[in-house]
Structure 1
């Protein structure tokens, strides 16, 4: 039986690193692309360093990384940044463009490269967020970019005719993004942060390892959804938590 292979962007830390570890345990061959490199898993991962904010550098990096590869069982577009928790009126267009470049347009470059490469791909998962649909105050560039990522997946599903594509929100994952959220922002101004603060020390806040395992376990169920769909894993795996999340979102004027 041929060894399965996966491409993971942003695999040097957090969920991307945990996915790489979990797939290695499943005897996958891993191709990684990240700014810092995945030194922790060397030499078990075939890795290339690439700053995804440099859109022109992505194609040459993938040329080196995937030279000779004819099939990928899984592609996880994981790399992304949070940006600032701030009111939209306080965010500059320049900063919003930076966030969009990394969270949306770098993924377009990767998808275009994969289409042109002729590599056969079974499944593409782009890591999105519930922020894409909640529209909570303060989530600005992150929410916009993840909503854009969701639509990017929807549109590319038409072009990846033999590949299942999905944008997936994994739920709250205990990474440096959570630390940044709780350090930089005011929960009084941005009420959605209260839920994240309350999740600390509970099962609602997933470790990267648990989030990775949960995502991989859900891959067959994702394929049952229409290609191009946005799926919040909490809808499938924790419907009560998802219902509470939707009910608690802060609405304009509330």
Structure 2
């Protein structure tokens, strides 16, 4: 009799928000889940083994993946969720600050993928789910650098998916809109602020403060992650939540001029 082994999922940035909800959703679906955080956690979520990993550190990433493979024998699903936010005008951040943002949001994904992919290729089986954003589809005033990381992630993921299909490995993007978590509240402020942007920057922050109390919960995104992990016909993009689906539809079909006007109105920018 063949014994069916439990599938293994590895979720980065699993100590809170979307990462935590995704790790718990996968665990509830029968996966053995490893969740990462940069620092040791006091208590692991139910059904999730928390491990320390810094996605900006090549050695940390490779040691973690080697540990999971030695213990579990395989990684079936990789959820690249670890990320940082950055708010401010495009010219208000030093290049060093922007590089640090890319190091987590883009290069961290690449490090994790490069470490996990060889075992998936060898087994000819695997799913890589990259947590993107609607800001990977649309522009976002005063979030230019964060949007740039997500636009880059979208291009990287689409190219990679074409490359690895021959090995029965698929890559998908999960694209949430506003999500009720501490992510936006913990976003880094631009490190070289310019007074002429103070009013507009404050307006964007006020808008976020207004929409967050009624934004969708991380569990909405986690449900999409779980669905994408087992989808027999995996798609490249999975909008997560009502707002994300609306934005994806508008971006695809609305005339550019109308979309631009609507965006500026929503962000309370001058016409």
Structure 1 residue 55: Cα displacement: 3.1
SS of 1:41 mapped into structure 2 = coil
Q: Which residue of 2 aligns with 1:178?
A: 184
SS of 1:46 mapped into structure 2 = strand
Q: Quick one: structure 1 residues 231 and 22, their matched pair in 2 at CA, closer, same or farther if it must change by over 3 Å?
A: closer
Q: Which residue of 2 aligns with 1:153?
A: 157
* Residue 240 (structure 2) aligned to one of 210, 233, 238: 233
Q: Which residue of 1 aligns with 2:208?
A: 196
Matched length: 247
Which of structures 1 and 2 has the bigger CA Rg? 2
What TM-score results when the alignment is normalised by the length of structure 1? 0.81
In structure 2, what is the Cα distance between the partners aligned to 1:149 and 1:31?
A: 23
Moved over 6 A (4+): 183-187
CA RMSD of aligned residues (A): 3.3
Deviations 1:88-109 (A, max 9, x none): 1111111111000111111111
Q: Quick one: structure 1 residues 101 and 231, their matched pair in 2 at CA, closer, same or farther if it must change by over 3 Å?
A: same
Alignment of 1:30 with 2:27, yes or no, is no
* Residue 66 (structure 1) aligned to one of 65, 69, 76: 69
SS of 1:169 mapped into structure 2 = strand
Q: Quick one: structure 1 residues 242 and 138, their matched pair in 2 at CA, closer, same or farther if it must change by over 3 Å?
A: same
SS of 1:159 mapped into structure 2 = helix
Is the contact between residue 136 and residue 192 of structure 1 (CA under 8 Å) also seen in structure 2? no
What TM-score results when the alignment is normalised by the length of structure 2? 0.76
Structure 1 residue 250: Cα displacement: 2.9
Instruction: State how 1:17-166 maps to structure 2 within 5 Å.
Output: 17-41=20-44, 44-83=47-86, 85-117=87-119, 118=122, 120-161=124-165, 162-166=168-172
Deviations 1:168-205 (A, max 9, x none): 11222111123246x99967347655653442343xx1
Deviations 1:23-75 (A, max 9, x none): 22222100222212454326843332112222342112221232254443322
Gapped regions of structure 2 (runs ≥ 5):
191-196
Gapped regions of structure 1 (runs ≥ 5):
none
In structure 2, what is the Cα distance between the partners aligned to 1:142 and 1:216?
A: 25
